[in-house]
Every structure is written in structure tokens, then in C-alpha cells.
């Protein structure tokens, strides 16, 4: 019988067969639905406290995940994907997971393989004003020269990087931690470091070219890894979906707009909800006391549904009667309407 190992906002992870010291186990990822049949929302880590879901989102994320797993398989990129396992289920290899309270020591002293490598690699192709890299460049926490730039970006400037940029963080902390010393901490050899980064860069290039074929720009995304038997690296978890990556599309007036879950995050930043949430978190309020997001009006909710659906349509080549240019323009018009009403921009700054 399958055992629930981890529950997230949009998917759960079940183990069917435990890994051994020298071999993978097996399990599956299950893409969740809310009781009303909509797909759950993952922004702000609110899980079930979000007051509504998005129609068709669960199927969209599932199909996109399968699409990119299959695409990587066709191109010889190793992943933990084993195939579809039924309705909204993906069968995967399972590895040992380092304990959160001592993951550094556990990995350095590891006696077992396979295991989850506690490094998340973020690949940035395009830096938008809402991206964390944009913020770190503007505040001096990241150096422009490291990314092939001669200066930090301006407040509303979107930059296409000369070459994809790599940032590493770990998910085994209470919050995402960006660290340049992660490879040293984990005791990975120079050869393994290069192999891991090369694997992420190749996967990014494949996903980027695939999205470009249908008019979508892959701005950035993340990759996670497991170390398999005999020390082989595999990409794990889902990637290049609307929930993990930022996909941009062009509007009728030539602007670029985000059609991924960043669109939702932008809306709630403009309304001021994100600011209220951060204040509650900083004050030490427990999760159940955090403010609940206000429900979107029906007109806006339909645009959000279209944004998810058109990316689903384009990436998976499943025609649903939507026009990418029209939907992108609707998304931009919605953002402009919200900014005029609330007098804030997508970064939360007053305008």
C-alpha cells in the first residue's frame, strides 16, 4: 500500500516501494484537486487556506510535467520519471531524503545511495522586475558582472541575459537559502559539480527551445536532483510547468507579460495582500492567523484560468480554442486595471 511521504500545495508524494542502500524505490506524484474540482493554488505557501482554485489547473500542471519528462527522455536527459500511473499520477524513482535538522552532516557522511541532493539549481534566462535575481542585482546582493551585465537593471527593466545564469539554493532550510558554498558544504567533487550544472543547463536549453516554438519565453525555472546508484545524477520532481517556471508571452502592444503563476502573485502584490501577509509573518503570527487572500472577481478569475489554459494548450500542443496573443493582452490589461485601482506595481511599490 502506498505511503504518503510529503504533502504540498498542488501535489502529494507517495512511496510504494522504499529505497534500499543501493537501489531506488518507487513511488508516485499525485496532482491534487480541491473538493470543488478546481486545481489548488501554490503562491505564498497558503495551501488549503487559499479561498478558491483554478479550473483545469491540476490537469494543466500534470500534462505539462509529463510533457517535459517525456521531452527529456527523448533527448537523453536522465530524470526519475518512470511513466504515467493513472489519473493525475506520475510514477517516479524514490531516493533517501536527508533529515532537515542535519542535512549537511548527513550528506557528507552518507553511507547510502540513492539520495536527494539538497541543492536546487535556478536557471535564469530573462530577468524580470519581479524576479528575485532582479531584486538582488538592484540591491547589490548579486554582482552584475557575474551575469555578463555592465550594470544592475533599472526598476522596471526586463533583461535578457547574454548566457543563462545559475543560482543555487537549498530547500532543506525553513526558507530558501541562497549560498555559493553549497557544493563545498556537501563535499561534491569538481566533476560532480560540473555534471550537475551541465545537466540543469541542458534541460533548460531543451525546455527553452520547446517553449519558443510556440511563442513562449522561458524566463527562469528550477531543477532538483537525486544521486542514483553508482553515483549517477537524475533530475527529480516536476519542472518547466506553469507552477515551477515563469513563461512570458508578447501582448498586442509589444510588451512581455507573465502567464505562469507569477500572474496571480503579481495581482495579490498589487492589491497589497502580500504586504499584509509579510507583516503578519514578521510579527510571529502562526500560520492559521495569517490573513486570507480576498477572492478575485469573476472577470479576473476567468483571465487567470485562460492564462493557465493557454500555456497548457501551447506547451502540450493541445488546441483549446485560445489565442496566445489575445490571452497575453487580456492578462496585461488586467494588471493595468489593478495597478490603476490600487496604485501599486507588481513589485509592491507605490505608483
> Which has the minimum average pLDDT: 114-118, 162-166, 247-251, 276-280?
114-118
How many degrees, rounded to 5, is the angle at CA 335 between CA 163 and CA 210? 35
Share of the chain above pLDDT 70, in %: 95
How many degrees, rounded to 5, is the angle at CA 330 between CA 328 and CA 334? 120
Residue 233 lies in a domain: no
Could you tell me if 89 and 26 are in contact, meaning their C-beta atoms sit under 8 angstroms apart?
A: no
Residue 279 lies in a domain: yes
Could you tell me if 116 and 96 are in contact, meaning their C-beta atoms sit under 8 angstroms apart?
A: yes
**Mean pLDDT, rounded, for 303-308:** 98
**Dist. CA 172–CA 103, nearest whole Å:** 7
Mean per-residue pLDDT of the chain: 92
pLDDT score, position 176: 43
**Dist. CA 3–CA 12, nearest whole Å:** 10
pLDDT score, position 110: 73
Query: Among residues 272, 300, 207, 202, which one has the least CA distance to residue 246?
Result: 207
pLDDT > 90? residue 48: no
Residue 202 lies in a domain: no
Please report how the helices 298-316 and 57-74 are oriented relative to each other, as an axis angle in degrees rounded to 10. Answer: 20
Residue 9 lies in a domain: yes
**Dist. CA 326–CA 315, nearest whole Å:** 17
Residue 311 lies in a domain: yes
Residue 291 lies in a domain: yes
Over its C-alpha atoms, the chain yields an Rg (Å, rounded) of: 20
Assign 251 a pLDDT band (cuts: 50, 70, 90).
very high
Assign 316 a pLDDT band (cuts: 50, 70, 90).
very high
Query: Among residues 183, 215, 234, which one has the least CA distance to residue 24?
Result: 234
> Which has the minimum average pLDDT: 65-69, 108-112, 281-285?
108-112
Residue 105 lies in a domain: no
- List, in sequence order, every residue forming a beta bridge with 233; answer none if it has no partner: 227
- Using one digit for the tens of pLDDT, what is the confidence trace for 51-105? 999 999 999 999 999 999 999 999 999 999 999 998 899 999 999 988 877 777 7
CATH number of the structural domain spanning residue 87: 3.30.200.20
* Single residue among 35, 70, 95 that ends a domain in this structure: 95
| Domain residue limits at 277 | 262-351
pLDDT > 50? residue 25: yes
**Mean pLDDT, rounded, for 242-253:** 96
Assign 296 a pLDDT band (cuts: 50, 70, 90).
very high
Coil vs helix vs strand at 308: helix
**Mean pLDDT, rounded, for 15-26:** 95
**Mean pLDDT, rounded, for 292-297:** 96
* Single residue among 68, 95, 122 that ends a domain in this structure: 95
Residue 117 lies in a domain: no
Helix (H) or strand (E) holding 169: strand 159-170
Assign 47 a pLDDT band (cuts: 50, 70, 90).
confident
CB atoms within 10 A of CB 70: 14
Coil vs helix vs strand at 216: coil
Coil vs helix vs strand at 180: coil
* Single residue among 36, 71, 95 that ends a domain in this structure: 95
- Using one digit for the tens of pLDDT, what is the confidence trace for 171-200? 654 444 444 555 666 667 788 889 999 999
Long-range own/partner contacts, residues 30-38 (CB < 8 A, 24 or more apart): 30/88, 30/89, 31/58, 31/59, 31/61, 31/62, 31/65, 31/88, 31/89, 31/90, 32/58, 32/88, 33/58, 33/88
Sheet architecture: strand order including 11-17: 3-7, 11-17, 25-31, 89-94, 81-84
Share of the chain above pLDDT 90, in %: 80
**Mean pLDDT, rounded, for 118-140:** 92
The tally of domains found in the chain comes to 2
pLDDT score, position 140: 95
* Contacting residues for 106 by C-beta, under 8 A, at least 6 apart: 98, 99
Query: Among residues 237, 300, 280, 303, which one has the least CA distance to residue 49?
Result: 280
Amino acid at each position: 500500500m502506498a505511503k504518503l511521504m510529503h504533502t504540498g500545495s498542488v501535489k502529494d508524494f507517495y512511496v510504494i516501494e522504499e529505497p534500499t542502500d543501493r537501489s531506488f524505490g518507487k513511488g508516485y506524484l499525485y496532482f491534487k484537486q480541491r473538493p470543488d474540482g478546481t486545481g489548488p493554488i501554490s503562491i505564498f505557501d497558503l495551501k488549503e487556506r487559499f479561498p478558491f482554485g483554478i479550473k483545469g489547473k491540476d490537469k494543466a500542471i500534470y500534462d505539462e510535467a509529463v510533457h517535459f519528462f517525456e521531452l527529456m527522455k527523448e533527448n537523453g536527459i536522465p530524470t526519475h520519471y518512470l511513466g504515467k500511473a493513472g489519473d493525475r499520477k506520475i510514477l517516479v524513482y524514490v531516493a533517501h531524503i536527508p533529515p532537515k535538522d542535519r542535512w549537511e552532516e548527513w550528506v557528507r557522511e552518507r553511507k547510502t545511495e540513492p539520495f536527494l541532493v539538497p541543492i536546487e539549481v535556478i536557471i535564469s534566462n530573462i530577468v524580470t522586475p519581479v524576479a528575485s535575481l532582479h531584486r538582488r542585482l538592484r540591491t547589490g546582493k548579486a554582482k552584475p558582472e557575474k551575469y555578463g551585465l555592465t550594470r544592475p537593471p533599472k526598476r522596471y527593466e526586463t533583461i535578457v541575459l547574454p548566457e543563462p545564469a545559475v543560482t543555487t539554493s537549498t530547500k532543506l532550510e525553513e526558507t530558501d537559502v541562497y549560498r555559493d558554498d553549497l557544493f563545498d558544504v556537501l563535499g561534491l567533487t569538481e566533476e560532480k559539480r560540473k555534471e550537475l550544472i551541465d545537466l540543469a543547463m541542458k534541460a533548460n536549453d531543451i525546455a527553452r527551445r520547446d517553449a519558443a516554438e510556440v511563442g513562449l519565453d522561458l524566463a527562469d525555472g528550477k531543477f532538483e536532483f537525486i544521486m542514483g546508484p553508482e553515483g549517477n545524477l537524475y533530475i527529480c520532481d516536476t519542472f518547466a510547468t506553469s507552477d515551477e517556471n515563469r513563461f512570458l508571452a508578447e501582448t498586442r502592444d509589444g510588451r512581455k507579460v507573465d502567464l505562469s503563476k507569477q500572474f496571480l502573485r503579481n495581482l495579490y502584490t498589487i492589491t497589497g495582500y502580500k504586504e499584509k501577509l509579510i507583516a503578519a509573518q514578521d510579527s510571529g503570527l502562526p500560520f492559521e492567523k495569517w490573513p486570507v487572500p480576498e477572492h478575485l472577481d469573476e472577470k479576473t478569475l476567468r483571465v487567470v484560468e485562460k492564462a493557465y489554459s493557454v500555456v497548457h494548450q501551447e506547451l502540450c500542443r493541445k488546441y483549446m480554442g485560445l489565442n496566445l496573443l489575445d490571452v497575453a493582452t487580456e492578462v496585461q490589461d488586467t494588471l493595468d486595471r489593478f495597478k490603476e485601482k490600487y496604485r501599486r506595481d507588481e513589485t509592491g511599490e507605490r505608483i
